[in-house]
């Protein structure tokens, strides 16, 4: 894979929050003028937001995040109950018992916070891997649409403040991606074995 294609794949991967918000407001204003031959634009965010595979990935990531949230809530409820019970009985406990039970509850809270942090890291890792896969699927389509429009320069459409948007490759890339892949399957990624502990 040459450097330009590697950069494109990395750019597509970096673009993304899997947002499915309409991106027309971010589109460059059509101020008229002549199209500049060879200068093309692409909105990576719009490719992910408008393509079927990007929307499917966003939906799946939302499901995984909701499952993680539910799992954490289920773990948190008994902990909260135990904290309230401790607070109510603490005045009647001896200093040694109060200290021992308080430290045990603090340890459980730290363990819970650690689990919550790990789940968040796993969701971020899952998002990055899904984005990378979509970027890899989009890469040859971007290259094909780029060549078919006789482009010599590709700009990020979301950075263009205004001008003639005739050479916007985004719709062609979305269409090509939709024709190639409409969904991907993935589960929550495990954390790497060496997390620096």
Give average pLDDT by consecutive 10-residue segment, the chain, 197 residues: 40 42 48 85 92 96 94 93 92 92 94 93 94 93 96 92 88 96 94 68
The confidence score (pLDDT) of residue 105 equals 93
Do 72 and 116 form a contact (C-beta atoms < 8 A)? Answer: yes
The confidence score (pLDDT) of residue 8 equals 43
pTM attached to this predicted model:
0.72
Backbone phi and psi for residue 162, each to the nearest 5 degrees, phi listed first: 180, 170
142 Cα distance to chain centroid? 21
The confidence score (pLDDT) of residue 29 equals 60
């Amino acid at each position: 894979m040459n450097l330009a294609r590697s950069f494109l794949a990395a750019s597509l991967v970096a673009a993304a929050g899997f947002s499915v918000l309409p991106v027309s407001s971010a589109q460059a204003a059509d101020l008229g003028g002549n199209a500049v031959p060879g200068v093309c634009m692409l909105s990576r965010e719009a490719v992910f937001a408008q393509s079927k595979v990007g929307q499917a990935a966003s939906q799946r990531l939302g499901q995984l995040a909701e499952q993680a949230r539910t799992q954490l809530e289920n773990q948190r409820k008994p902990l909260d109950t135990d904290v309230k019970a401790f607070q109510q009985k603490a005045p009647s406990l001896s200093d040694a018992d109060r200290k021992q039970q308080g430290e045990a509850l603090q340890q459980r809270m730290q363990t819970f916070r650690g689990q919550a942090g790990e789940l968040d890291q796993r969701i971020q890792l899952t998002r990055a891997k899904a984005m990378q896969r979509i970027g890899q699927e989009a890469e040859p389509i971007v290259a094909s649409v780029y060549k078919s429009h006789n482009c010599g320069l590709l700009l990020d459409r979301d950075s263009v403040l205004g001008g003639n948007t005739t050479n916007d490759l985004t719709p062609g890339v979305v269409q090509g991606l939709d024709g190639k892949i409409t969904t991907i399957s993935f589960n929550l990624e495990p954390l790497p074995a060496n997390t620096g502990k």
